[in-house]
Structure 1
Amino acid sequence: MNRPKVILYVSASIDGRITMGTNATMFDAFQQPELYNMMGTMEDWAGFTKAIKELYQPDMFLEGSHMVISETAELTKLPDYDGDPSELYQDFLPEDILRRPGRKTWTSLIDGRGRFRNGYNAECDDPETNMVYLSTQTAPPEYLAFLRSRNLPYMLEGKGRVNLPRMLEKVRTKLNVQTIATSSSGMLSGALIRSSLMDEINILFNPLVIGGFTIPTLFASPEPKCPSILPSRLRLLDLQTLKNDRLWLRYQVLNDR
């Protein structure tokens, strides 16, 4: 398969929890800093991210929609689209974005149902990157029309859920992406590893146990079932002891199933 290399980097508790609550998003850390700082401060995460960038030099950062919008959140109402919807269901890659001076990377979001609707372009936070939304042929037409109205690139693969193997091939061929880094553990990392689409795993383990019955864990995926679904074997590449009793474990995924 002609696809980019895919790297996971994530912070977790010793019991594999990746957040402090059910249906939490990345924004909860700003609302409850005292609680979330037990998983490491913003400075800790920034240092880890910097090390990942230096190690892998990714040209795309990939996240799942659950990182930015809760499953229970009320969706932003968009105007109905009254034009020909067929034109919307083609990949939208504006040349002025593809060739924008200073853009070096892509920031992407897997959003098969078109739930994240705030028009974020990523350039406002980092002029060296730009958003590209990865969705499906069944995304609502008003969502795709909204992205076009904001000149936000998008690509479509799959129905209901993004077809990850085909989308990664498209990302490679259309955007020339060589290395993807994702910090979206849970459902997205589970889907990637079950599809043999993940190459390396970096886990920053924090010295605490969170517990809970419904709090998301590192990999949310179907249970193993022989011979169709087998556990993914790993090989340890590196282990570093960091300050405040944290451990950085780096593994290669042995995609030999």
Structure 2
Amino acid sequence: MVPFPARPPNCRRALVDLASTVQRTRGGAVPKRPRVVVSVGASVDGKVALTRNALLMHQPNTDLWSSMTPEAPDSVAIDVIEVVRRQHGCNAILEGSGSLVAEDEIPDELPFYDGDADGLYNHFLPADVIEQQSPEHMWFTVVDSRGRVRWTERHQNWDALVLVARSTPADYLGYLRRERICYLVVGEERVELSRAVSAMATELGIRCILSTAGGGLNGALLRADLIDELHVTLAPALVGGLGTPSIMDGSPLAVGEPPTRLQLLSAQTDTAGAVRLHYAVRRS
């Protein structure tokens, strides 16, 4: 089961701006690359999970993770979705399939697709889905070139958007079409994130993406030079463990390649020991 996030708050000014942006895009204007904001909660040692295959959406992991941050009257916790909607008109959340389906989990088998598969490998954006959106509409976007996520829930003002590749099984694309779930074909062997982000702008008018993904996808965004801002909330706890996912995983720096430099925008602490940091990526 894949739960959508709760319905986002209504931020009037951002939503008016967002509706205007979508209208201009449909009118033929070429949108800029969407702003990409990463929001992550981590332990002080930078871990974003308890173990490699311990999905935080499953018990007892959910409660264990929550217990790392004691309640405090001056809590630094904020609703990052609300913040980025207000500041940037954000209308898409980004997750990796690994946040929703454990690596060792075997998804339910799908019916064999026995039609002409060639037509499946085009974007699937049915008009009855994309043209009936309210200004507060959000896309719950998942990178899933292997076709592992099974969609079982629908929520008001949210629609699923799956990023797939030409290597994605036809059975899965047929399943998405039967379920009226939008998808973008943005890669050959795997999803190409730069191409995906651009397609989200040109095809759907998305101008800001909030990644709440794990270390693998966030690390891929980093290597593709797609991150513009980073929100990190550190819990006063240590997890440890070789191979436990961290804030940014993925491929290492090449020899002589410099780290990505950040500019600190704000830092806050609370009496429980949590720390919230907000950075912008420095590109000059």
Q: Deviations over 1:111-131 (max 9, x none)?
A: 111111x2246xx33x12211
Q: Among 30, 38, 45, which residue is 1:8 paired with?
A: 38
Match of 1:20 in 2: 50
Report the Cα distance in structure 1 between the residues aligned to 2:76 and 2:103, rounded to whole angstroms.
28
Match of 1:72 in 2: 104
| Aligned 8 A contact 1:11 1:39 in 2 | no
Report the Cα distance in structure 2 between the residues aligned to 1:186 and 1:33, rounded to whole angstroms.
18
Report the Cα distance in structure 1 between the residues aligned to 2:78 and 2:51, rounded to whole angstroms.
22
Q: Among 220, 231, 235, which residue is 2:259 paired with?
A: 231
Match of 2:121 in 1: 89
| Aligned 8 A contact 2:139 2:159 in 1 | yes
Report the Cα distance in structure 2 between the residues aligned to 1:154 and 1:224, rounded to whole angstroms.
31
Q: Among 184, 202, 206, which residue is 2:235 paired with?
A: 206
Q: Among 82, 98, 110, which residue is 2:143 paired with?
A: 110
| Aligned 8 A contact 1:196 1:255 in 2 | no
* TM-score, scaled relative to structure 1: 0.89
Amino acid at match of 1:215: T
Q: Deviations over 1:148-183 (max 9, x none)?
A: 000111001112220111111111101010100011
Q: Deviations over 1:195-223 (max 9, x none)?
A: 10000000001111111112101101222
The question of 1:61 aligning with 2:90 is answered no
Structure 1 unmatched runs, 5+: none
Match of 1:163 in 2: 192
The question of 1:119 aligning with 2:151 is answered yes
Report the Cα distance in structure 2 between the residues aligned to 1:32 and 1:24, rounded to whole angstroms.
7
| Aligned 8 A contact 2:269 2:275 in 1 | yes
* TM-score, scaled relative to structure 2: 0.81
Amino acid at match of 1:24: A
Deviation at 1:56, TM superposition (A): 4.2
Report the Cα distance in structure 1 between the residues aligned to 2:62 and 2:97, rounded to whole angstroms.
22
Q: Which runs of 4+ in 1 moved over 6 A?
A: 41-46
> Cα RMSD (Å) of the superposition?
2.3
Structure 2 unmatched runs, 5+: 1-30
Report the Cα distance in structure 2 between the residues aligned to 1:20 and 1:235, rounded to whole angstroms.
29
The question of 1:133 aligning with 2:162 is answered yes
| Aligned 8 A contact 1:64 1:110 in 2 | yes
Deviation at 1:32, TM superposition (A): 3.5
Amino acid at match of 1:224: L
Report the Cα distance in structure 1 between the residues aligned to 2:64 and 2:148, rounded to whole angstroms.
27
For these two proteins, the number of residue pairs brought into alignment is 250
Of 235-244 and 78-87, deviating more is 235-244
Amino acid at match of 1:35: L
3-state SS, counterpart of residue 39 of structure 1: coil
Report the Cα distance in structure 1 between the residues aligned to 2:215 and 2:62, rounded to whole angstroms.
21
